[in-house]
Amino acid sequence: AWDYARFATGPEGQSIVVPNTGYMPTNTLALDKDHLAGFYDKHPNWYTSVLQTPRARPWFSWPGDNGVQIAQVLRDEMTAIALGSKEPEAALADMASQVRALLPKTN
């Protein structure tokens, strides 16, 4: 598994993955002339994602197994506020109680 992960995220693996998926490379070493530089020369529009790399920010992840459900709670409550079907204070209270219930219990 480790050998595959190293290959897939390395320059050689990325030179296979990127042209076949449209994803941006996960490894900037793959941008050299021996790997993806020629591909991007032929497909300059695909290079746009690479140019956005400096703008990338860390992605927050909720602890535990309920991250998707927590994100949905937040969306639902913010939507209720935006639509005027719930007052912000009530939505915040509901949001907090629902998220607390979904977070893992700590000792």
List per-residue pLDDT tens for the chain, 107 residues long.
Answer: 999 999 999 999 999 999 999 899 989 899 999 999 999 999 999 999 899 988 988 888 999 999 999 999 999 999 999 999 999 999 999 999 999 999 999 87
Backbone angles phi, psi at 30, to 5 degrees: -75, -5
The 8-class DSSP code of residue 36 comes to T
Structure tokens at 99: 């998220």
pTM exceeds 0.85: no
Residue 95 and residue 77 in contact, taking contact as beta carbons nearer than 8 Å: yes
Cβ within 8 Å of residue 70, ≥6 positions away? 62, 99, 102, 103
Map out the domains of the chain as residue ranges. Answer: 2-55, 67-102
